[in-house]
């Protein structure tokens, strides 16, 4: 009877130790490159651009007018006229807003979309992978 109790204690300890190690989470935070433009690969005939600022703003653009943008152009209030000068035809859908950090994860404030930092040069947002230009 005593050996059964000892075996049960050892078994429960091993079970507890193994589940604790398996459920441990990595709490390291990857910081994005702020004020730098990230661009997706070509999707159809269009590109997606994303920029994060240290002040908590994000700028997202979906367009087929250009394949390169600077940070100054993406944050400009005259973005649509800048894109018209680069190419006279096409579509552009700019979006900007604030983001927040919750539980070491970045989310947009309006729709709570996740902005996942996968590496120093790569971000995943709205099921698209953005790479630093």
pLDDT class for 7, splitting at 50, 70, 90? Answer: confident
Nearest to 63 by CA among 55, 53, 72, 73: 73
pLDDT class for 29, splitting at 50, 70, 90? Answer: low
pLDDT of the residue at 126: 95
Q: How far is CA 58 from CA 12, 86, 125, in A?
A: 49, 23, 11
Query: If you ran DSSP here, which 8-state letter would residue 78 be given?
Result: T
pLDDT for residue 18 is more than 60: yes
For the chain, the helix, strand and coil percentages under 3-state DSSP, each to the nearest 5: 25, 35, 40
pLDDT of the residue at 94: 96
Strands 57-63 and 37-40: unpaired
Query: If you ran DSSP here, which 8-state letter would residue 53 be given?
Result: -
Counting residues of the chain whose pLDDT is more than 70, the rounded percentage is 83
pLDDT for residue 22 is more than 60: no
pLDDT of the residue at 31: 85
pLDDT, the chain, mean: 87
Q: Which residues contact 114 (CB under 8 A, 6 or more apart)?
A: 105, 106, 107, 125
pLDDT of the residue at 6: 74
pLDDT of the residue at 68: 94
Which of 8-12, 18-22, 80-84, 98-102 has the lowest average pLDDT? Answer: 18-22
Domains of the chain (ranges plus CATH)? 37-132 (2.40.128.500)
């Amino acid at each position: 009877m005593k050996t059964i109790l000892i075996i049960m204690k050892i078994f429960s300890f091993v079970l507890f130790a193994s589940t604790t190690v398996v459920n441990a989470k990595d709490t390291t935070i990857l910081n994005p490159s702020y004020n730098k433009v990230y661009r997706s690969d070509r999707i159809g005939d269009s590109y997606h651009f994303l920029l994060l600022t240290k002040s908590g703003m994000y700028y997202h653009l979906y367009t087929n007018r250009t394949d390169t943008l600077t940070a100054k152009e993406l944050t400009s209030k005259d973005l649509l006229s800048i894109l018209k000068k680069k190419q006279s035809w096409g579509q552009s859908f700019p979006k900007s807003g604030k983001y927040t950090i919750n539980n070491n994860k970045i989310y947009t404030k309006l729709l709570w979309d996740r902005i996942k930092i996968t590496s120093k040069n790569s971000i995943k947002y709205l099921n698209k992978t953005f790479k630093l230009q």
